[in-house]
Chain A
Amino acid sequence: MTPERFAYLADAYGADLQRWPSAERAQAQALLDTGHATARQALQQARWLDTRLDSYRVPEPSPALVRQIIATAALHPPAPTLWQRYAGWLTSLGWIGVGLSGAAAGMLAVTLSLPLPPSAEALPSVLDQSDAEFVLSINAEEAEQ
């Protein structure tokens, strides 16, 4: 690293090499280790300003402000994401489905538990009277032909 580059970086980033671009720190330190006068002077000048910059401290947040901000989180809860909304919708749909299945199962159970009526009218057969006559008449027509 040239002394000019060193001075430029000290002018921009200050005296603490940790604040310098990481790729140039080692070279800067190597130049300093040689005891180069320009480099040392640049660093001293930078340190003078750093000390003054450090003197400008700002107050810590007051406990009242901390409380106020924490309270705003409760007033403004995070809006649900699209997935959360979708998941909520699916859950509602699931409950509706469960309800409908329950109703259907109930109806089936009631239906199955009822006794079958003894009369044939309740369960008509394909071989009841009128149908048998119809089948016989068709057979008779076919025989004539």
Chain B
Amino acid sequence: MNETDPDLELLARIGNNDAQAVQEMVTRKLPRLLALASRLLGDADEARDIAQESFLRIWKQAAHWRSEQARFDTWLHRVALNLCYDRLRRRKDHLQADSEEAIEAPDSGPTPEQQLEAQSQQRRMAQALDRLPERQREAIVLQYYQELSNTEAAALMNISVEALESLLSRARRTLRSHLAEAPGTDLSGRRKP
């Protein structure tokens, strides 16, 4: 498993203070870290803090990384997840209020009407995700958005694959139910007259 870890060589170079390797690591990992934290926390500012803190851990760890350890990407997800848990514990009461402000419009080229519709759908999706119980949201974010394998996601959550599937299944049912409540949609995706 470790022979195929695609980050090992980069880590070794960072351990030797290679500035180019630092840049490559940021390019490789930052978008995924930011996406993970944004979707779990629903807050862009906090997501940026999590990303920065995670990279500090990378810089400290790079020279000490051993290939016998877990895959680097899995370790990094665990670091970011733990940081997210800390944040969630600290500001649970304010999460709902912050989430709407956190949704920023993605860069896209469609017409203003399409953009408005896309933003509206995105907002609905973010709210639905935000309304999920914490563990269900985590399961969806890790398996669907971060595209981790079921075994990786289950290991990160310290649960069995069966328990993960159960969480995913409940999460998707709840999401369908929340989104179907939105005006103008039915479960097949067709607009209601």
Instruction: Quote the shortest CB–CB distance from B99 to chain A (angstroms).
Output: 12
B30 interface hit (Cβ, 8 Å): yes
Given A73-B14, A78-B60, A81-B64, CB of A61 within 8 Å of CB of B34: yes
Q: A19 to B59, Cβ gap below 8 A?
A: no
CB < 8 Å neighbour of A77 from B59, B125, B140, B169 = B59
B81 interface hit (Cβ, 8 Å): no
Given A49-B172, A73-B22, A81-B63, CB of A56 within 8 Å of CB of B129: yes
B77 interface hit (Cβ, 8 Å): no
Q: A11 to B172, Cβ gap below 8 A?
A: yes
A122 interface hit (Cβ, 8 Å): no
Q: B169 to A79, Cβ gap below 8 A?
A: no
CA of A78 to CA of B122, assembled, Å: 40
B147 interface hit (Cβ, 8 Å): yes
Question: Which of A64-72, A99-107, A111-119, A134-142 touches B?
Answer: A64-72
Q: A72 to B52, Cβ gap below 8 A?
A: yes
Instruction: Quote the shortest CB–CB distance from A17 to chain B (angstroms).
Output: 13
In A28-87, the 8 Å CB interface with B consists of: 44-46, 48-49, 51-53, 55-61, 65-66, 68-70, 72-74, 76-81, 84
Contacts of A19 in B (CB 8 A): 143-144, 147
Q: A65 to B14, Cβ gap below 8 A?
A: no
Q: B59 to A61, Cβ gap below 8 A?
A: no
CB < 8 Å neighbour of B126 from A11, A51, A56, A76 = A56
In B88-112, the 8 Å CB interface with A consists of: 104, 106-107
**B side interface size, CB within 8 A:** 57
Contacts of A14 in B (CB 8 A): 144, 172
CA of A56 to CA of B189, assembled, Å: 16
Instruction: Quote the shortest CB–CB distance from B92 to chain A (angstroms).
Output: 21
Contacts of A12 in B (CB 8 A): 165-166, 168-169, 172
A21 interface hit (Cβ, 8 Å): yes
CA of A101 to CA of B150, assembled, Å: 63
Q: A78 to B17, Cβ gap below 8 A?
A: yes
Identify the closest chain B residue to A82 (Cβ). Answer: B64
Contacts of A65 in B (CB 8 A): 30, 34, 48, 51-52
B156 interface hit (Cβ, 8 Å): no
B187 interface hit (Cβ, 8 Å): yes
Q: B62 to A78, Cβ gap below 8 A?
A: yes
In B22-44, the 8 Å CB interface with A consists of: 22-23, 26-27, 30-31, 34-35, 38-39, 44
Identify the closest chain A residue to B124 (Cβ). Answer: A52
Q: A48 to B188, Cβ gap below 8 A?
A: yes
B121 interface hit (Cβ, 8 Å): yes
15 contacts between A and B (CB under 8 A): A44-B188, A49-B179, A52-B125, A52-B179, A53-B125, A55-B121, A58-B38, A58-B47, A59-B106, A65-B34, A65-B48, A69-B51, A78-B61, A80-B63, A81-B63
4 closest residue pairs by CB, A with B: A78-B63, A56-B125, A12-B168, A58-B38
